[in-house]
Chain A
Amino acid sequence: MLTVDVEKLLGTFTLAVHFAAAGGATALFGPSGSGKTSLVNMIAGLLTPDRGAITLDDIVLFDAAKNIDVPPHRRRIGYVFQEGRLFPHLSVRQNLDYGRRMNRRPRDSKKFERIAALLDIGHLLDRRPGMLSGGERQRIAIGRALLTEPRLLLLDEPLASLDAGHKREILPYLVRLRDEAKIPMVYVSHTPAEVRLIATGVVRLEDGHVAASGGLELIKDADADLFV
């Protein structure tokens, strides 16, 4: 269970958001500039709210009143960025292994193989990120985040930088991820079709505020199918 109740002044824009997300995949849905990315950055610990609190499964990650601010590297929250952000100086295998090495955990080849199979990336392990297609890069980024055994997975428009073909390539993996990995997900998107496929709950953001939250019935623009 993730609860977020934060306020942050960003230039002239005020972000004031309150929501809770249980298991499954919660979509943060809204137009560009509604504060979605700033919000996930605050959950990850990359951006500090001015006021409020963030808790995950009874663990306080941030509480302005109590002066608690767990640094990002201790939050155990996986983050898949819009542009992948793979380390260009490391091979795919080293990218995937990065979290395990930083957390000094023993090698677990079974888990590694399971996730490599889930995302179908076994044949890419010895390549450099520079040699991958956009879709392959995003699959590696998802695998890299999953292998840190996160308590929560944040996905910030993971398909935004991909063309329609590559979007279609990634979507089934995201659905599989939701159903098989059993890690709660917060999925940022402004694309209704994407949200309808992946999300189990929806938080709709507008101008830095929660306009509505609930189920998939909040996604109405049935005509805006970007995958055609």
Chain B
Amino acid sequence: MFNLSPDEWTAVELSLRIAVVATACALPFGIAIGWLLARKDFWGKTVLDGLVFLPLVLPPVVTGYLLLISFGRRGPIGQFLYEYFGIVLSFRWTGAALSCGVMGFPLLVRPVRLAFEAIDRRLEDAAATLGANAMLVFLTVTLPLALPGVIVGVVLCFARALGEFGATITFVSNIPGETQTISAAIYTLTQVPGGDAAAGRLVLIAIALAFAALVASEWLSRRAAIRFHGG
């Protein structure tokens, strides 16, 4: 059953790499924006809030197209990245990581924001009276207390990145070995005669990965809860 061909293994490996890189790169931004939205009032907050959540409601192909015209080689940001840093995103796995990160971002920000909103801010005052400056208060009190929410956000973002299809295929196409993830490979296999068995194997792997992510998040959240409430 799990005698995957080298191409199929490549798709699995590539999917995992893209999802891991996408989530890891999105995480610091997700924490920063989640914190901003939870704690600060500033001009344009509603706009930022809307922008973050736009990928959740837009058709993925629209998000992918927007990424293509802005991060493509001739797009304004893509051109800048190439000229000054030599970075090319279009039709590369790094571009797939970008589109997966953008698509997973709202799912990351939401639980992070809720976690920051739920923290008892009087604990932060207590930390300040004990000598902690704003940065230390954040690192030793706020962030650890928000950890369960951050874990939920990371798992959701990772799962979304793992399964992303529409935006990715629009932005970086479907190139075996470079941008062909599990989802894209399944799509390709269903388009050719005799691809059903291979598609079935990848479908099972996709189910197994999604399930593993859920179990992992459950386990991590429970551990965090035990740390907080004693046990």
Chain A positions within 8 Å of B, measured between CB atoms, are 44-46, 71-79, 81, 83, 85, 87-89, 98-99, 102-103, 127-131, 144-145, 148
The residue that A88 contacts in the complex, of B122, B127, B131, B145, with Cβ under 8 A, is B145
Rounded to whole angstroms, the CA-CA distance of A83 and B122 in the bound complex is 10
Closest to B141 in A: A87
Do A130 and B129 touch across chains, with their CB atoms under 8 A apart?
Answer: no
CB of B48 closer than 8 Å to a CB of A: no
Q: A79-B126, A102-B127 are in contact. Are A73 and B132 (CB under 8 A)?
A: yes
Enumerate chain B interface residues (CB-CB to A < 8 A).
120, 122-123, 125-133, 136, 140-141, 144-145, 147, 227-231
The answer to whether A102 touches B131, judged by C-beta atoms less than 8 angstroms apart, is yes
A128 to B231, CA, bound (A): 8
- State the CA gap A27–B129 with chains docked (Å): 20
What's the dominant secondary structure at chain B's contact region?
Answer: helix
Indicate if the CB atoms of B127 and A130 lie closer than 8 Å: no
CB nearest neighbor in B for A147: B130
Check A77–B136 contact: CB distance below 8 A: no
Q: Is the CB of B126 within 8 A of A102?
A: no
A149 (CB) vs chain B CBs: closest residue: B131
Cα-based distance from A45 to B145 in the complex (angstroms): 24
Other-chain contact of B228, A77, A103, A130, A145 (Cβ < 8 Å)? A130
Complex contacts, A103 vs chain B, CB 8 Å = 131
Contact partner, A85, options B122, B140, B229, Cβ 8 Å: B122
Which residues does chain A contribute within 8 Å of B231, judged by CB atoms? Answer: 128
Q: What are 9 A-B interface contacts by the 8 Å CB criterion?
A: A45-B128, A79-B129, A85-B120, A87-B127, A88-B123, A127-B230, A128-B227, A144-B130, A148-B130
Residues from chain A with a CB closer than 8 A to the CB of B123 are 85, 87-88
C-alpha gap A98/B139 in the complex (Å): 13
Q: Which residue of B lies closest to A77 (CB)?
A: B129
Residue from A73, A87, A131 within 8 A of B128 (CB atoms): A73
Please give the distance in Å from B123's CB to the nearest CB on chain A: 6
Which residues from A are CB-within-8-Å of B122? 81, 83, 85
- Beyond known contacts A73-B133, A102-B140: 11 more, CB 8 A cutoff: A46-B129, A73-B128, A77-B129, A87-B127, A88-B123, A89-B227, A89-B228, A98-B127, A128-B230, A131-B230, A148-B130
Give the CA-CA distance A47 to B123 in the complex, in Å. Answer: 15
Shortest Cβ distance from A81 into B: residue: B126
Question: Known contacts being A46-B125, A128-B230, A130-B230, is A102 close to B132, with CB within 8 Å?
Answer: yes
B129 to chain A, nearest CB (A): 4
Q: Report chain B residues within 8 Å CB of A131.
A: 230
Chain A: which residue is nearest B130 at the CB level?
A: A99
Contacts of A144 in B (CB 8 A): 130
Instruction: For A130, give the chain B residue with the smallest CB separation.
Output: B230
Tell me which residues across on chain A come within 8 A of B132, comparing CB atoms: 73, 98, 102
* Cα distance A46–B124 in the bound complex, in angstroms: 10
Closest Cβ–Cβ distance, residue A17 to chain B (whole Å) = 20
Taking a contact as CB atoms under 8 Å apart, the answer to whether A85 and B230 are in contact is: no
Q: Write out the residue numbers on chain B whose beta carbons fall within 8 Å of the beta carbon of A128.
A: 227-231
Question: Does the CB pair B131–A99 fall under 8 Å?
Answer: yes
